[in-house]
Structure 1
Amino acid sequence: MRPHRERTVRRLARTLVAASTAMAAVTFGFAATAQAADPSLREVADPTGRFIGTAVNDSLLNDSTYRNIAATEFDSVTAENAMKWESVEPQRGQYDWAGGDRLVDFAQQNGQLVYGHTLVWHSQMPDWLENGSFSDTELREIMTDHVTTQVGRYRGEVQRWDVVNEAFNEDGSFRQSKFYQQLGASYIADSFRAARAADPDAKLFINDYNTETQNAKSDGLYRLVQDLLAQGVPIDGVGFQNHLIVGNVNGSAIRQNLQRFADLGLEVAVTELDIRMRMPADSSKLQQQARDYRAVADACLAVDACSGITVWGISDRDSWVPDVFEGEGAACPWDDNYRPKPAYDALRDAFVAAGGGDPGDPDDPDEPDDPDEPAGDCSATFQISNRWDAGSVVAVTVRTDRSVNDWRVEFDLPSGVTLANGWNGRFSQSGTRVTVTNESYNGTVPAGGTISFGFQTGGGAAEEGTPVTLGGQNCATG
């Protein structure tokens, strides 16, 4: 069950997003008008019980297009830099809350959650801290005072905090940060205890990168979290950054890793999602990027304890990636001109498929779906035309009672069964879930028309009569 405070924010969001989206179509021109034609990301995410967030660049909030997208598409915001130590406490004991306050005000105006990032981190420390010399006792006091002051400042206004960020090396050992070198691993527990004391209701996370699948680094993180829980340290969740590379995304492995942390009784979240590519971008890379975004979203949506997804930036033009990875970029859901990319559609489709197709009654966003609601306006046959020990050939026909443009059909294969090849569609597989989208020549289907495609499996056979969805809606069998 979501906490009461989050339900209140989401309820307010229902009212605000409709008004702001309508206003945006008038005020901000063609790009915003095009986006307003369909439900936003936040509208399709809400019925699934997950948040969809973005990192917000404080310096861009005066840009009308940027501000509009941040306000209307997302129901959670994270400060990209404005809440980091160097921004908040540039001089010891002297705090600058301007950027953090702007983000919180923006979120409250738009009915959004706030994800605080970050309290204790080896990077982006102010010079006085990074290069200062302190006794162990003094450094621990500096750290806990900073955590107490910042979390206390936003008590009741920030729903989640990245308390400790990037504490591990790639081999699973602790990073030799200033805090670890002087205080040992106890600095982590102390940071969490200070944050809990400052705001008992905020959810407290540890956050890291290259931990999205099971590997040496995530194993180290797992051991730490187990130890913190055994000590009674107040940790509520684990954040997985997911700064990924196009074509190198394993959705099934991400889901399994999220689940193993969730099985510890913790909340998990995708906190900094972007998927970069070697430049220049082209249609093939953008389509693969969309499949990769979909795989990550599906992984989160398949794990009950995964509370949401934050993309690390809105537009490719504002991304951190080109400045850090030479020759790479185009990592975000919007392009340089703030036009939605296939990755945006993939995120939206993932939420729709998970139950976010109908945003529901705006007066009661927490009302459950009607269990007696009929299946969508479609019927499907899923027939095995040939079967052998290690595979099968399948023919699928979907009849639709309404006209369809750019269709998407989904179904599940038995565990261990994989796609070998397919025809009359574009195929992708994430875990057991198979997604088939139209080719350029068969994307438009009239009312009463049919969608037909086929494929071959490996590793085993598909199952006759497998349920099929069209555009996220269940199709009747036959």
Structure 2
Amino acid sequence: MRQHRVRTVRRLARAAVAASAAAAALTFGFSAPSQAADPSLREVAESTGRFIGTAVNDGLLSNGTYSDIVSTEFDSVTAENAMKWEAVEPQRGQFNWAGGDRLVQFAQANDQLVYGHTLVWHSQMPGWLQNGSFSNSELRTIVTDHVTTQVSRYKDKVQRWDVVNEAFNEDGSLRQSKFYQQLGASYIADSFRAARAADPDAKLFINDYNTETANAKSDGLYRLVRDLKAQGVPIDGVGFQNHLIVGQVNGQAIRQNLQRFADLGLEVAVTELDIRMRMPSDSSKLQQQARDYRAVADACLAVSRCSGITVWGVSDRDSWVPDVFDGEGAACPWDENYRPKPAYDALRDAFVAAGGDPGDPDDPDNPGDPDPPTGDCSAAFTVSNRWDTGSVVSVTIRTGQALNGWRAQFDLPAGVNLANGWNGAFSQSGRTVTVSNAAYNGTVSAGGTISFGFQTSGGAAQDGTRVSLGGQECAAG
């Protein structure tokens, strides 16, 4: 079970991040990064009952800035490579636990969950396994022994396992891996059964990429997990990697897909989130990336069985993306100098909007505010035209403080969808619509107004719908 340090300790830890960042600035010759505002990602995620995690590069844990960010901002960690088969069992029956043990010890020292990645995968296999010739029964024993040994090693220390990783082709058929070619689909069920026997309390996941929305691949995955459950195979959840591209993220489609798997009675999770862009980056791309990160977070937060989000790496400096996608990069929430990007703020905003700022009862400057005051903004939500299948809405928000960029949110009735909008950038996740400023109307003076409008389909919006600005609910006005 998760145990969290008191927030006073976390404030000291965040101060350590700032100090380490300043030291790193001298070492690497860049300006000291500005630090993200309180509270941390892990605190706002906790307020929603979800985890927020990151993949951890074992070789970077000695980097003070890197390890401080991982420890203070995340409450779940995933081994980027240290728990994969080639790292763990480089020779048959000879195990190297050094990297996995370091991650587990780091997590225990920082009150973090551990997401084990990954037990059975067609890639990053050791040479003896990849190139070896085995009978079917011997290969089945090899798989079962490996799963049993690794899960037993970390019994009660790893809370979730990616038991089987990337088992599908893009057309929804099972991948012709070494395991499938010799053992057929039964290797999947066998792996889950072995993992459950080794640790009855760990949650067991199947994980894949390009399955974020409904398509041939996710349909194949859906059929498999439905059938596994029907057969009594101990599968607890489905991981959706979400290696995405800036400007090509459909939050509503992601939410709907998460929900259909959740409706099978499964836990779902975003397991490897990064959103890459064509380099070089610029402010426009970074703002779009932030909106895309927000759309993914909102999608998870709208699904009650979505247990959390893991970003695949902390900073652009350490990302796998440039090595795999030529000319692309800048996919992470922190930049190459460990400065938080707009994507970081977007993740925080999503959790705050879903669960509120937890505050700190020991801090008189930030005691928390589960029922935020509405005096700083007022909003008029007016349905100017309506018909059986739609409506036209105008929204005017008056803000009590000057703004340089804004984000408004409101909920539509069930079954009512956003059709189009104007004077802002619109997205919808479930019933929640998020509107961010356009390039020309982000600057608002104190006492000034924000105006935008939109059209619905599938039904009409409701006059007087409450609107929030920057996570704070506005008074009716």
Taking structure 1 as the reference length, the TM-score comes to: 0.90
Structure 2 vs 1, CA of residues 281 and 473 (structure 1 numbering), >3 Å: closer, same or farther? Answer: same
Matched residue, 2:335: 335
Q: Which one of the candidate residues 14, 21, 38 is aligned to 2:14?
A: 21
Cα displacement string for residues 211-233 of structure 1 (whole angstroms, at most 9, x for unaligned residues): 11111111111111111111111
**Residue pairs, 1:72-91, within 5 angstroms:** 72-91=72-91
2:268 aligned partner = 268
Please say if residues 45 and 52 of structure 2, whose CA atoms lie closer than 8 Å, have aligned partners that are also in contact.
Answer: yes
Q: Is the 8 A contact 1:26 1:33 kept in 2?
A: no
SS in 1 for 2:204: strand
1:410 paired to 2:403: no
Provide the residue aligned with 1:308 in structure 2: 308
- Paired letter, 1:100: G
Q: Distance in 2 between matches of 1:340 and 1:64?
A: 16
Paired residue type of 1:304: S
Structure 1 residues 120-159: aligned runs within 5 Å = 120-159=120-159
> What residue number does 2:397 align with?
398
CA RMSD in angstroms comes to 2.5
1:223-246 Cα offsets, whole Å, 9 max, x none, are 111111111111111100011111
Instruction: Tell me whether 425-434 or 159-168 shows the greater mean CA deviation.
Output: 425-434
Structure 1 CA distance for aligned equivalents of residues 390 and 264 of structure 2:
37
Report whether the alignment pairs 1:455 with 2:448: no
SS in 2 for 1:77: strand
Instruction: Report Cα offsets for 1:170-209 as digits up to 9, x if no partner.
Output: 1111111111111111111111111111111111101011
Greater Cα offset, 330-339 or 308-317: 330-339
* Per-residue deviation, residues 278-302 of structure 1 (Å, max 9, x unmatched): 2222222222111111111000000
**Does the C-alpha gap of structure 1 residues 144 and 376 become closer, same or farther in structure 2, counting only changes over 3 Å?**
farther
Q: Percent identity?
A: 74
> Which structure 2 residue ranges, 5 or more long, are not aligned?
26-30
Alignment of 1:380 with 2:391, yes or no, is no
CA distance in 2, matches of 1:137, 1:389: 63
Distance 1:229 1:360, change over 3 A: farther
Counterpart in 1 of 2:471?
472
- What secondary structure does 1:12 align onto? coil
CA shift at 1:433, angstroms? 2.8
The aligned length equals 462
Partner of 2:344: 344
Change (3 A) 1:248 1:108: same
* Partner Cα separation in structure 1 for residue 99 and residue 37 of structure 2: 32
Residue 117 of structure 2: SS of its match in structure 1?
strand
Cα distance between partner residues in 2 of 1:226 and 1:81: 29
Alpha-carbon distance change, 198 to 13 in structure 1, aligned in 2, over 3 angstroms: farther
Secondary structure of the structure 1 residue equivalent to 2:207? strand
One-letter amino acid of the counterpart of residue 252, structure 2: S
- Output the CA distance in 1 between the equivalents of 2:307 and 2:369: 19
Residue 206, structure 1, aligned to residue 206, structure 2: yes
Paired residues of 2:358 and 2:369 also in contact (CA < 8 A): no
1:357 and 2:350 equivalent? no
Correspondence list, 1:34-433, <5 A: 34-359=34-359, 373=371, 375-377=373-375, 378-386=377-385, 393-400=392-399, 406-414=405-413, 415-423=415-423, 425-433=424-432
> Structure 2 CA distance, aligned partners of 1:15 and 1:111?
15
Deviation string 1:373-431 (CA, Å, 9 cap, x unpaired) is 465333321123455677655332334456655432111345444353422x4444445
CA distance in 2, matches of 1:394, 1:336: 42
How far apart are the structure 2 equivalents of 1:359 and 1:162? Answer: 34
Change (3 A) 1:27 1:65: closer
Q: CA, structure 1 residues 458+369, in 2 after alignment: closer, same or farther (shift >3 Å)?
A: closer
385-394 or 347-356, which deviates more: 385-394
Between the aligned partners of 2:67 and 2:385, the Cα distance in structure 1 is 54
What stretches of structure 1 of length at least 5 have no aligned partner?
none
Whether contact under 8 Å (2:444, 2:450) holds in the other structure is no
Distance 1:279 1:120, change over 3 A: same
Change (3 A) 1:307 1:13: farther
